[in-house]
Amino acid sequence: MQELDISTPSCLVQQEDGVLLVTLNRPEAKNAFNPAMLLGLYRAWRRLEDDSDLRCAILTANGNTFCAGMDLKAGADGDHGASEEFMALMGEVPNLHWQALLRDNRPNKPLILAVEGYALAGGTEILQGTDIRIAADNAIFGVTEVARGLYPMGGSTVRLRRQIPYCLAAEMLLCGEHVSAQQALDWGLVNRLVPPGQALAVAREYAARICANAPLAVAAVTRSLREHQECMAEDEAMLASDSLAGPVFASADAKEGMRAFRDKRPAQFRGE
């Protein structure tokens, strides 16, 4: 697997075939967000969006904690360790941190999450910006900001209630307590539980399944998932969805898919 030059010490970005692997890499600090990590995440998502060879991404972490959210120890002292490069880029992209955390400007390609251990505060907030979520069966989740006198600015007060039932979202947000992996599965917050140590391997399996499908079709479905939210009237959303479907049905990949079905062979998609 090739490590890309957009990596930072706190966020490793690697590429293998059509999959971008993004790894949080501050295990000594429970993978709490710092400027170097945010910079790596921002670069990764923009690369995913812009590189036509990339089909999807996996977000995971090194160590036994996925992410403990913002680095509260540094935040309490006002020392975030921001580099000159980070501050200069923030001047050009004021919402860089929100793009990094998948609150704003999510890439129009599938995002797969592989969680081991604790995913608290920002760790559960970034989860809500992903599409398919694999968790170890001993993982722990929680939007815990209220317990620290803080507000979950990663989007949970808006996004969480759209992804799980309202009353469960309210419980998570207002109580600020931990949620077990089994609860997260039962509530629909994650797709699948696996034995500890297996989340990344299973995430790779999902990535391979996505990469086997037609790129134009996957991109159109992902765009519809991103843009056609519950707040849209159904007839409006259907018309918008139809506008995405037309180019897919007119593509060479669509013809190849139907021929492959007829011939009982694997399709050879070209993204055309």
Residues designated catalytic: 125, 145
Grouping H, G, I as helix, E, B as strand and the rest as coil, residue 240 is helix
Quick one: angle between helices 35-50 and 84-92, nearest 10? Answer: 50
> C-alpha 143: how far from its chain's center?
16
What's the token pair of residue 196? Answer: 């500890």
Geometric angle at alpha carbon 33, from 28 and 35, rounded to 5° = 110
Gap between the Cα atoms of 259 and 130, Å rounded: 33
Give per-residue burial for 129-162: e unless 16+ CB within 10 Å, then b. Answer: bbbbbbbbeebbbbbbbeeeeeebebbbeebbbe
Geometric angle at alpha carbon 130, from 95 and 199, rounded to 5° = 130
16 within 8 A of 2, measured Cβ to Cβ: yes
Nearest to 176 by CA among 146, 140, 141, 139: 146
Nearest to 212 by CA among 253, 247, 173, 158: 253
Strands in 11-16's sheet, in edge-to-edge order, are 2-3, 11-16, 19-24, 56-61, 111-115, 132-136, 192-194
Facing residues of 2 across strands?
15
